[in-house]
Amino acid sequence: MSVSKNGYAKGKCGRCGKTYFNRRPAFPIYCDCWRYCPLCGKEMTPHTPDLTPSVHDAQKSLRVIRVCLNHSPPYYSKDLPVEVKLK
């Protein structure tokens, strides 16, 4: 990581390619693309696990963080916020 003359570190999201400038490089930047459906681009709904799942389903749904209901079957996302690596 190097900081340019004006004090900004530059980083690119490895998932969506969006470029970020960080004035305070000590603080990590997280890209918000994980919240958006990769299929239709709409913001996904936080996934609430079923209240009465079997143990197996509970383990499975724990990893699902967001869901897009625009699709049939719904698109389940397990993506976590992407930390933008600064250069």
**87, two tokens:** 């250069």
Order of strands, edge to edge, in the sheet holding 75-77? 45-46, 66-68, 75-77
Least spacing, CB of residue 15 vs Zn ion, in Å? 4
Helix (H, G, I), strand (E, B) or coil at 29: strand
Asked whether 34 and 79 are in contact (CB, 8 A), the reply is: yes
For Zn ion, the binding residues in 9-68 under the rule CB under 5 A are 13, 15-16, 18, 31, 33, 37, 39-40, 68
69 binds Zn ion (CB under 5 A): no
Of 70, 78, 80, 83, which lies in the binding site for Zn ion, with binding defined by CB under 5 A?
A: 70
List interacting residues with Zn ion (CB under 5 A): 13, 15-16, 18, 31, 33, 37, 39-40, 68, 70
